[in-house]
């Protein structure tokens, strides 16, 4: 069962190069369907509306995932936690830890995975 909320604690042991202000507790909450769709929309650019083709920036998607899922960063980031801060100042180790935590809390349930990941057809070779 997926958690709806969790706290991720960033320490200097797991993020040795992170600035002091980025250390501490980050409170995460699983996003809603609407928030999920909004993050995907913000990270997408329409390439061909007639064909329904879009390009999605993975960097922008994770930026919006973090902004939506991290409900309460450490007090040292109060007033600073925004898209520009994440883009320009977030330490790589801190970013990777938070990205993974956001992915975990927003991930698919076992039921969703069963519906999405169908068993392969009788060991047929994939064409191409």
Calpha distance 19→33 (Å, rounded): 33
Residue 123 placed within a domain: no
Residue 33: CATH number of its domain: 3.30.2220
Residue 83 domain-assigned (yes or no): yes
| Digitized pLDDT (tens) for each residue of the chain, 128 residues in all | 567 999 999 999 999 999 999 999 999 999 999 999 999 999 999 998 898 888 988 899 999 999 999 999 999 999 999 999 999 999 999 999 999 999 999 986 666 556 555 555 445 555 55
Specify the number of domains making up the chain.
1
Kindly report the pTM of this predicted structure: 0.79
Token pair 């068993």 is at which residue? 119
- Give the whole-angstrom CA distance, residue 50 versus residue 128: 28
pLDDT on residue 52? 85
Per this entry, what is the length of the chain? Answer: 128
- Asked if the structure places residue 124 within a domain, the reply is no
């Amino acid at each position: 069962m997926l958690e709806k909320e969790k706290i991720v604690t960033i320490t200097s042991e797991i993020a040795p190069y992170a600035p002091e202000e980025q250390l501490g507790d980050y409170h995460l909450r699983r996003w809603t369907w609407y928030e999920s769709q909004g993050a995907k929309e913000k990270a997408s650019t329409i390439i061909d509306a007639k064909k329904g083709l879009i390009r999605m920036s993975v960097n922008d998607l994770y930026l919006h995932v973090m902004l939506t899922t991290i409900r309460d960063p450490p007090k040292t980031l109060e007033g600073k936690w925004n898209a520009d801060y994440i883009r320009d100042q977030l330490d790589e180790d801190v970013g990777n830890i938070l990205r993974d935590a956001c992915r975990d809390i927003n991930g698919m349930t076992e039921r969703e995975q069963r519906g999405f990941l169908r068993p392969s057809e009788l060991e047929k070779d994939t064409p191409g």
